[in-house]
Amino acid sequence: SQQGEEDPQALSIQEGENATMNCSYKTSINNLQWYRQNSGRGLVHLILIRSNEREKHSGRLRVTLDTSKKSSSLLITASRAADTASYFCATDAAGGTSYGKLTFGQGTILTVHP
């Protein structure tokens, strides 16, 4: 079953605008990761945020994590047509012996119009 749920399911914006995607999850986590997937391709790792971190930046990406609300957001600033892809959040559950195993959400399909 999918732990993470992304919102919105689809997002359509113009080039230059910002895109915000949200992810909610159910259990305690060790870390949360965001991945991008271009149509029919493998996943590309974007950013990892640990459970004791609240915000992280990487280039045009900004990720926030609120463990009290069990939610995360991914902000892409100054979007480009090349950012068109599906974006997935994935959680690494805390506790147990199976650390490192990721549980993915259903993804947000982002379309950036030139």
Among 19, 107, 110, 112, the residue binding other proteins under the rule CB under 8 A is: 107
Touching other proteins, residues 2-41 (CB under 8 A): 2, 4, 30-31, 33, 35, 40-41
Distance of alpha carbon 102 from alpha carbon 41, whole angstroms? 18
Locate tokens 């999850």: which residue? 25
Q: What share of the chain is helix, strand, coil (3-state, %, to 5)?
A: 5, 55, 40
Among 59, 69, 98, 114, the residue binding other proteins under the rule CB under 8 A is: 98
DSSP-derived 3-state class of residue 81 = helix
User: Contact positions toward other proteins, by CB under 8 A?
Assistant: 2, 4, 30-31, 33, 35, 40-45, 48, 50, 88, 90, 92, 97-107
